Structure 1
C-alpha cells in the first residue's frame, strides 16, 4: 500500500515549461511586428524580452513587458498600448505544450493516488493553459489563486487542497519548482515538499525540501 495518498503539483515550470512558452510567444511577436532581422538580432532581442518577462514574473499586468521591449526595439507595426495586456492573455496560454510522456506518467500516477494542481495566476490564463495542454482531462482538483483569493505560499491555499482531497497533510506530496512558494508553503501545513529542479540549481536558502527530483518520472519511487 502506498504511504502517500495524494500528490499536488505546481503548474508553471513544473508540469509546464514556461520558459519554452516565452520563447514561443516571442517568435509570434517577431512574426507580427518585425521583419528582415538577422539571426543575431533575434537572439539579442529574445534575451532582452525574457529579462523583461523575468522582471514581471508574478505580476498579472504584462503591458510593461511589451512597452519596455518595444521602446528598446521599435517595431515595424506599432501595438497599441491598450492591446498589450489582451495580446498576452490571448496568445501566451496557447504557447504552452506538454509531451505525451508526461501525460502518460500523470495517468499512471493518477491510478495510484489522488492528484491535483495548485497554481498562482489569473483564472483566465491558467485555465487556458490547462485546457490547451489537455491537463483538464487528467486533473479534476485544480485550485487557481485568483479564484480563491489567496496565493502560494499562503497556508490557506494549501488547506483548501486538504479539504478538497480529504486526506491528511502528512499523506500528501507537493511537487513544485519554487523553494519559497511551493516547498516552504506546503511545509507550513505539514505537507512534504518535493523540489522539482531539472536545471540542478543550487539551494542556497534555509529551506530543506523533503526530496529533490530532476524529472517528474522520479516521483514513481515515492509511490512504490
Structure 2
C-alpha cells in the first residue's frame, strides 16, 4: 500500500464533471426562459453561457452569470436578478451526476485507507451536490472552504483535513484537476499531489505533481 493512509479528492471536475452540469443547467434555463430557439442559436447561446460561467467562476453569488447572459440574449420569460441565485442554488446541484464506477472505486479504496473531499465553494451548493450524487455516503470527511474559512490553494484547508483524519502529510495523497489550487496547494502542505488530467492538457506551469493520471481507476495502483 506504499505507506499511504489517506486519499483526499477535489470535487468539481475530479469526482464530478462540472462542465457537463453547466450544460444541463443551461438547457434548464432555456426551457424555462426562452421559446422557439433554433439549434444554431442554441449552440451559440450555450457557448456564451459557458463563457460567462468561466468569467465568474469562483464567485459564490452567481447572479452575474445569468444576468450577463440575459443581457446578451434577452429572454421571453426572464427572472428578476434577486431570483437568479435561488434558481442556481436549487437547480445546479441537481445537474450533477457521478459515474457508478467512481462510487465503486471509492468504496474499494475506503476499505484500505481514509478518504475525504476538499472543495472550494458555498456550503449550501457543495453539500447539495454531494448529497444529490450520494457521495456523502462514501467519505470520512468533507471540507468546504466557506465552512472552514480557507480556500484552496491555502495550505491551511489541507491541514484541516489532515487533522480531521488524524494522518500525517507524508501518508496522504490529494487528487485534483487544478494545478495551482489543488496540486500546488496540497504540496505546500507537504501532501503528495496527483494531477487528474483526463483531457491530457499540457502542463505549462512550474508546478510538478507527484503523479499524473487520466482516469481515477489508475489510483488503485497506489493501494495494492
User: Same fold by TM (over 0.5)?
Assistant: yes
Aligned twin of 1:119 = 119
* Cα drift, residue 135 of structure 1: 0.3
Please say if residues 114 and 140 of structure 2, whose CA atoms lie closer than 8 Å, have aligned partners that are also in contact. no
2:112 & 2:148 partners in 1: Cα distance? Answer: 28
Runs ≥4 residues deviating over 4 A: none
* Cα drift, residue 94 of structure 1: 0.9
Deviations 1:35-65 (A, max 9, x none): 1111111111000000000011111111011
Aligned pairs for 1:31-46 (under 5 A) are 31-46=31-46
Deviations 1:63-86 (A, max 9, x none): 011111001111111211110111
What TM-score does the superposition give when structure 1 sets the normalisation length? 0.98
CA RMSD of aligned residues (A): 0.8
2:56 & 2:201 partners in 1: Cα distance? Answer: 21
Aligned twin of 1:197 = 197
Residue 77 of structure 2 aligns to a residue whose secondary structure is: coil
1:73 & 1:161 partners in 2: Cα distance? Answer: 43
1:78 & 1:87 partners in 2: Cα distance? Answer: 12
What TM-score does the superposition give when structure 2 sets the normalisation length? 0.98
Residue 142 of structure 2 aligns to a residue whose secondary structure is: strand
Aligned twin of 1:134 = 134
Aligned twin of 1:179 = 179
Unaligned runs of 5+ in 2: none
2:91 & 2:101 partners in 1: Cα distance? Answer: 25
Residue 4 of structure 1 aligns to a residue whose secondary structure is: coil
Aligned twin of 1:78 = 78
2:99 & 2:180 partners in 1: Cα distance? Answer: 27
Aligned pairs for 1:20-31 (under 5 A) are 20-31=20-31
Deviations 1:108-166 (A, max 9, x none): 11111110000000000000000000001111300000000110111111111111111
2:76 & 2:139 partners in 1: Cα distance? Answer: 42
